[in-house]
Structure 1
Amino acid sequence: MRPRSAVEMARTMLGDVFVRADDQGLDEAARYLVRWGSEGVGDRLDEQSTLMLLFDLMGVVRDEPDGVVVVQPRGEPDPETRTWRHPGATRG
């Protein structure tokens, strides 16, 4: 059995959540998710930022999570905490 990359694992998980997303959207979202994880974005997410990150993923895959009611975030979180929007900003 061949080892799976982090992107392949993220894509599989996203495919379970975003069941109507196309392959291209899932591939792109998986790459973003792995990059955000490697930059430590998850260590700094509060509730509002987590919702915005979910909405950003929804925009990439052009789908909504299956069986989940998503509440619209209240405005924009502080740009300093929305680091996934400007790649590399979290790197020391």
Structure 2
Amino acid sequence: MIWIGSGLGWGWVGGGFAIGLVSTLSLLGIACPLTALEDWLRNGSVRVQSFIERWVNRPLYYDLPAWMFTLSYVVFALMVLLTWRRIPPRQRR
């Protein structure tokens, strides 16, 4: 979404809103709305697996608990924040 949103000029994709939202929803045990929408459009129902869990699970055949994916979302969000602090995005002129 960040790449698509950037190409379309959406301002919200430049902030940490997207991964922050996904991390927060995951901590609360709520499926990402985009994942729920994708499930509903594909299958007519919403699954309990997250988007990342489903796509990582398929090629690797690991049966991991949902908390591991929640942890990965939070760690990724923290890595993004650390990266922005140490290497801030350049302002466009």
- Radius of gyration: which is bigger? 2
Q: Tell me if both proteins adopt one fold, taking TM over 0.5 as the criterion.
A: no
Please state which band the TM-score falls in when normalised by the shorter chain: under 0.3
Q: Which has the higher helix share?
A: 2
Structure having greater relative contact order (Cα 8 Å, sep ≥ 6): 1
